[in-house]
Chains A and B, each alone.
Chain A
Amino acid sequence: MNEEFPQEYGPKWSDQRVERMLGVLVVAVVGLLLAMIVTVFVRGWPSFSHNGIAWFGPGGAVDEQLNAIFLSGQSGAEYVYTFHGWPLIWSTILITGGAVLIALFSALFVAVFIVEFAPEWMSNVLQPVVRFLASVPSVIYGLLGVLVLVPFIGNHLISEEQKASVAGVISLTGYSLLAAILVLTLMIAPLMVSIFTDGLRSVKPGWIEGSLALGVNRWRTTWKIGVRSARPAIVAGTVLATARAIGEAVMLAMISGSVGFAPNPADGLIFIYEPSRPLAPTIVKNIDQLSSPPANATLFAIATVLLFSAALFSLTGYIARRSMRKYGTA
């Protein structure tokens, strides 16, 4: 009889015990997430309740408001909560939207290129490079932006007269919308390319061969069959990239300009040179204010908005992918 035999008489780790323990762990994880959502919302509630819907609207200079909020908490006088976050929201929309649109368009073509039309040696080199780029920490992209792109924009792209034309309102230094959108695009594109290529490669080869055998050329076959079948992957990649873009705090803090300013399209082309600051970097830049209760509430309110947006995007992606299943995909 071997040593394992005694186990049969009631093992120490019976299935019920293990299942219960694992179940507790899983419930704890779920509970943690719920606790997180509730905590963030509850902590941010004072800011929302004092401002109402105007929290999201324009009005006043957001940086001054933040300052006032912070000071009121320090001084012990009545807390000030007045906060109109529109410049931050607008900045988030512009930067995230711009980056995701450019990245989606480019990543799709690049993925098709890698999978279909590039010479084989090029594909073999590009694959690991794309994966590497997708795992580069965001702070390094920020470094590149600050040390290379921002000076280039500030010194070579923006002309003196452009700077003068808006000098009364804002100073153009190169820390700008353009820099932020470009670097953010660079940051999320490899991720999208990598997910898209995986999606394209998992298309059933029978469909591709079938399409070619019907006399449809390579380009149309790749797009009408390959890309179409890979639509769930495309949606998944876009959602993932958008979530990353919205939540990107540190890199944007480095290059977007860090001024609570809403870039104004009415300024004409110059508006891409204007600095701004999206929601996530605002938290990072004001993190020292956590000790002041109203400032604490404001920062948590911003975090709630971030959380909510990320959830919204995930849900949209999920619904989009569900609806694609009707006709069947790869």
Chain B
Amino acid sequence: MEPLTSPPPIRRLNPENPEPATEVLPPARNGNGHAPQQSGFIAAKRSVGAPQFSIRRMEIDEVSVHYGAKEAVKRVSLPVRQGEVLSLIGPSGCGKTTLLRSLNRLTELTSTARLSGRILLDDVDIKLIEPTLLRRRVTMVFQQPNPFPMSVFDNIAYVLREQGSRRGRKKTLEPAVLSALDRAGLLEEVKDNLDHPALKLSGGQQQRLCIARALAAEPEVLLLDEPCSALDPKSTQVIEDLIVKLRDDVAVVIVTHNLQQAYRIADHVAFMYLGDLVEYNSATALFGSPREKRTQEYVSGAFG
């Protein structure tokens, strides 16, 4: 592929020209899985196969976020689909976390934040949904595991209890708690003592507990903000496997600065730089043969 002489126009999603609901992706790579030499991206094996299906759940439409005078996110449009993992990548300060937080209106907690454009959840503008209700349908897991200072059981039961006037006692809530722990892959390790203080779990277990907590709310979209950056490689692997397993039940959006991780688990990748959406494509395409020069520079490690 010859070098680009000038950057091609950035492709934006166009309602008149909708993205096909499913894409035909090349078969999953086995073996030593080197990406084509053109992109300069050296990848390990991809953990995901092609998604079985995808349903469009959220639509980000020409969204800009301003913090006072500074524009953190500049007119980004993306789809978020259930059945696949969307990864936002980019160097620090590119706006990926801001974009993520705007999906469940956490940006509103900063008084200087202004959002323009629309974000639709199942075709309803999220500005019209009450924030607490929205955040039960779009839950978030943070970079630093933040289990509450209670027992494992209470952490998950907290979500169930506080979401309404349900005054659950242990017996009634137990099935839901166990199921959430199971989906997060933590059940085996804690089922003997659900009253164990959550803060005494290891880092990886705490993060899985946070994921279980987020799942207990039965969300439609799960947002993950660099969930593994504070964890060791083994825990990271466990959580990555978990995320891939979850994509059928919830739409997953994960922000990561770890390119290998994005390649391993994402189906679609959006590369952002200084607030702009530079490129949005399937993972294999973006890492294998990126359209934009900036993308190629980033994935080959020229900067960031």
| Interface residues of A, Cβ cutoff 8 Å to B | 204, 206-207, 209-217, 220, 224-225, 228-229, 326-330
B217 touches A215 (CB 8 A): yes
A209 touches B142 (CB 8 A): yes
Q: Measured between C-beta atoms, what is the minimum distance from B2 to chain A in Å?
A: 47
Complexed CA–CA distance, A326 and B199 (Å): 10
Other than A213-B142, A216-B163, give 20 A-B pairs with Cβ distance below 8 A: A204-B146, A210-B148, A214-B136, A214-B139, A214-B158, A214-B217, A215-B132, A215-B139, A215-B163, A215-B217, A216-B132, A216-B158, A216-B159, A217-B162, A220-B162, A228-B149, A229-B149, A327-B151, A327-B199, A329-B149
| Interface residues of B, Cβ cutoff 8 Å to A | 104, 106, 109, 132-137, 139-140, 142, 144, 146, 148-151, 158-159, 162-163, 197-200, 210, 213-214, 217
Q: A224-B162, A327-B199 are in contact. Are A217 and B146 (CB under 8 A)?
A: no
Q: Measured between C-beta atoms, what is the minimum distance from A43 to chain B in Å?
A: 47
Q: Measured between C-beta atoms, what is the minimum distance from A228 to chain B in Å?
A: 7
B214 touches A214 (CB 8 A): yes
Which residues of B have CB within 8 Å of A216?
132, 158-159, 162-163
Complexed CA–CA distance, A329 and B104 (Å): 28
Which residues of B have CB within 8 Å of A210?
142, 146, 148, 210
Complexed CA–CA distance, A225 and B158 (Å): 10
Which residues of B have CB within 8 Å of A214?
135-136, 139-140, 158-159, 213-214, 217
B148 touches A213 (CB 8 A): no
Complexed CA–CA distance, A213 and B142 (Å): 9
- Among residues of A, the one whose C-beta sits closest to the C-beta of B199 is A328
- Among residues of A, the one whose C-beta sits closest to the C-beta of B213 is A214
B162 touches A327 (CB 8 A): no
Complexed CA–CA distance, A209 and B148 (Å): 11
Which residues of B have CB within 8 Å of A206?
142, 144, 146
A213 touches B135 (CB 8 A): yes
Which residues of B have CB within 8 Å of A217?
132, 162
A-B contact pairs, 19 of them (CB 8 A): A206-B146, A207-B148, A209-B106, A212-B106, A212-B109, A213-B135, A214-B136, A214-B140, A214-B158, A214-B214, A215-B133, A215-B134, A215-B159, A216-B159, A224-B158, A224-B162, A228-B150, A327-B197, A328-B199
B148 touches A326 (CB 8 A): no
Smallest CB-CB A-B distances: 8 pairs: A215-B136, A215-B135, A328-B199, A206-B146, A213-B140, A328-B149, A210-B146, A216-B162
Which residues of A have CB within 8 Å of B133?
215
Complexed CA–CA distance, A212 and B149 (Å): 16
B149 touches A330 (CB 8 A): yes
Complexed CA–CA distance, A207 and B213 (Å): 13
Q: Measured between C-beta atoms, what is the minimum distance from A262 to chain B in Å?
A: 42
Q: A206-B146, A326-B197, A327-B150 are in contact. Are A212 and B158 (CB under 8 A)?
A: no
Q: Measured between C-beta atoms, what is the minimum distance from B190 to chain A in Å?
A: 14
Complexed CA–CA distance, A220 and B139 (Å): 17
Which residues of A have CB within 8 Å of B132?
215-217
Which residues of A have CB within 8 Å of B158?
211, 214, 216, 224
A213 touches B106 (CB 8 A): yes
Complexed CA–CA distance, A327 and B134 (Å): 30
Which residues of B have CB within 8 Å of A327?
149-151, 197-199
Complexed CA–CA distance, A83 and B213 (Å): 62
- Among residues of A, the one whose C-beta sits closest to the C-beta of B154 is A327
- Among residues of A, the one whose C-beta sits closest to the C-beta of B134 is A215
Q: Measured between C-beta atoms, what is the minimum distance from B100 to chain A in Å?
A: 11
